Amino acid sequence: MNNIVFLPVLLPLLTGVILIFFARKTGIQKGISFLSSLCGMAVALYLVHYISNNGIKVLEVGSWKAPFGIVIVADMLASLLVLTTSLVGFAVLLYSFRGIGKEREKFYYYSIFQFLLVGVNGAFLTGDIFNLFVFFEVMLMSSYVLLVLGGTKGQLRESLKYILVNVISSAFFVITVAYLYSVVGTLNMADIGRRIGEAGQPGIITVIAVMFLIVFGLKGAIFPLFYWLPGSYFAAPIPVLALFGALLTKVGIYSILRTYTLMFPHQQGYTHELLGILSILTIIVGVIGAIAYWDVKKIIIYNIVIAVGVIAFGISLMNQDGLAGSLFYLIHDMIIKAALFLLAGIMMKVTGSSSLREMGGLIRTNPGLGWTFFLAAISLAGIPPFSGFSGKLLILQGAAEKGAFIGMAVVLISSLLVLYSIMRIFIYGFWGNVTSYTPASSVPVTKLLTPAVILVAVSVLYGIGTEFVYPFIIQGTEPLVDPQIYIDAVLKEEG
């Protein structure tokens, strides 16, 4: 039954709606969202299993045939990302139960949380460019509310900037879609890809491709367009920050991946080289930021920028290894960023500050926290048995194949500096003498630690079980390397 493809969107939608009825009863809210989150993970797992056996699954919404109606397309790439999203969502939800506080919970926190998942899952699964825009807006509006919910001064200031940037980029998105529609006359992504392929990508399409790069670059924080991210993310409360850091920029990156492999792969000389240069600059800027700060949150936030650069570099290579590496690294990064933010949140709860200068000796008081953070840190840097390794290795192989040696060197050096930036947190925060803390709250740390441990455990298994995961990644990369597979799956009759 093809309808299963839409369930990752429908399930959180219905949950979010039902939660509105129980706005004041936080116990019921927690119960319902917990159950829905578990179901969501089960559905996503089943989806991955189903796609791996049966190939790309297309749902023609409303029984209208492909280029005329909206299609929901679940290929392996989208299903893997949906699975990762539900896992991250589950862990952050668990953390929120203890970590978000009553005053936010009573003001529709869990509803908005579910609507954010609707937007993210929808953006991954849709096969229609305007529908992608709508799901972007669903995601962004939920993120506005999550960012401002609570109403502290910093949150108000930063959400104003965040909304301004995103309103502008959304308007730009609409304009770009309008240009594209006036050139190719269709909104279905597969149909767009086919028609551009037939026309051989004339100059105007290259312009549109660059405009899409600007739009998705603004959403995904690529080099000259990342300026809004550090401040905005810094203002968010920890579970929200973990959700944003793991999901939002990755949707932008996914959109670049989808459009640049499906719609605009015909004139790579200009567009993909531009993407390559920008991604290398993104890595450099991110590294500078990650080293410069003494604040745990800021360091991890700049690590998001670095990861975005690495993934975008993999996309710009446009060969089997580079794309597979990007996908592998994308999933790894979603999991590990969520884990790192949750761990940073616990550190802040224990010490009452996010500055490294006011921490020290945490390994003595909280050994569990310390070793979990250590595992997460070396996974992030890509030390061999852990999950960051295979993705980067594949990207480097792709770069070597393409002869992009500068990029290769930058990625390698950036790994070293990422390790340095994250180990600095470990050294200054966990080693040394125990300083006297003024704990931010009396929440038992072990209960907050559970979701972070789950994420780190999954990440470690993901790294160790590379042999098991790799076939899925390869299957996810197939329609990226050869877009004809995707086009044929959607436009059955013409295919």
21 sits near another protein (criterion: CB under 8 A): yes
CB of 60 to another protein, least distance (A): 6
Q: For the chain, give me the number of helices (H) and strands (E)?
A: 22, 2
Closer of 104 and 349 to another protein (Cβ): 104
**Segment interacting with another protein, rule: CB under 8 A, options 12-20, 205-213, 224-232, 340-348:** 12-20
Closer of 13 and 263 to another protein (Cβ): 13
- Residue 370 tokens read as 């310390």
42 sits near another protein (criterion: CB under 8 A): no
Q: Would you mind telling me the total number of residues written for the chain in this entry?
A: 495
Residues 277 and 336 sit within 8 Å (Cβ to Cβ): no
CB of 193 to another protein, least distance (A): 23
482 sits near another protein (criterion: CB under 8 A): no
Closer of 2 and 446 to another protein (Cβ): 2
Among 39, 55, 60, 426, binds another protein (CB under 8 A): 60
What residues numbered 63-82 form the site for another protein, per CB under 8 A? 63
Rounded CA separation 344/165 (Å): 27
62 sits near another protein (criterion: CB under 8 A): yes
CB of 9 to another protein, least distance (A): 9
Closer of 9 and 189 to another protein (Cβ): 9
Rounded CA separation 271/209 (Å): 7
6 sits near another protein (criterion: CB under 8 A): yes
**Segment interacting with another protein, rule: CB under 8 A, options 59-67, 92-100, 336-344, 429-437:** 59-67
For residue 430, the SS3 value is helix
280 sits near another protein (criterion: CB under 8 A): no
CB of 1 to another protein, least distance (A): 8
**Segment interacting with another protein, rule: CB under 8 A, options 53-61, 135-143, 305-313, 319-327:** 53-61
326-335: burial string, b at 16+ Cβ within 10 Å, e else: bbbbbbbbbb
Among 1, 153, 200, 203, binds another protein (CB under 8 A): 1
23 sits near another protein (criterion: CB under 8 A): yes
* 386 Rama sector, left if φ>0, alpha if ψ -120 to 50, beta otherwise: beta
Rounded CA separation 91/98 (Å): 12
288 sits near another protein (criterion: CB under 8 A): no
2 sits near another protein (criterion: CB under 8 A): yes
CB of 58 to another protein, least distance (A): 10
Nearest CA-CA partner of 280 in 418, 410, 392, 417: 410
**Segment interacting with another protein, rule: CB under 8 A, options 3-11, 139-147, 251-259, 265-273:** 3-11
Rounded CA separation 105/116 (Å): 15
Rounded CA separation 211/470 (Å): 33
Rounded CA separation 144/122 (Å): 18
CB of 469 to another protein, least distance (A): 30
CB of 23 to another protein, least distance (A): 7
Q: Which residue has the tokens 């039902």?
A: 18
**Segment interacting with another protein, rule: CB under 8 A, options 60-68, 143-151, 270-278, 448-456:** 60-68
Q: C-alpha distances in angstroms, 410 versus 152, 334, 336, 341, 404? A: 39, 22, 21, 25, 10
Nearest CA-CA partner of 252 in 391, 111, 135, 93: 135
**Segment interacting with another protein, rule: CB under 8 A, options 5-13, 153-161, 333-341, 471-479:** 5-13
Residues 66 and 58 sit within 8 Å (Cβ to Cβ): yes
Among 47, 59, 235, 362, binds another protein (CB under 8 A): 59
14 sits near another protein (criterion: CB under 8 A): yes
Among 18, 45, 207, 288, binds another protein (CB under 8 A): 18
For residue 71, the SS3 value is strand
3 sits near another protein (criterion: CB under 8 A): yes
CB of 10 to another protein, least distance (A): 6
Rounded CA separation 260/9 (Å): 24
Nearest CA-CA partner of 353 in 448, 439, 447, 434: 439
DSSP string, 90-132: HHHHHHHHHHS-HHHHTTTHHHHHHHHHHHHHHHHHB-BHHHH
Rounded CA separation 51/79 (Å): 8
Rounded CA separation 188/377 (Å): 41
CB of 239 to another protein, least distance (A): 23
61 sits near another protein (criterion: CB under 8 A): yes
What are the residues binding another protein (CB under 8 A)? 1-3, 6, 10, 13-14, 17-18, 20-21, 23, 59-63
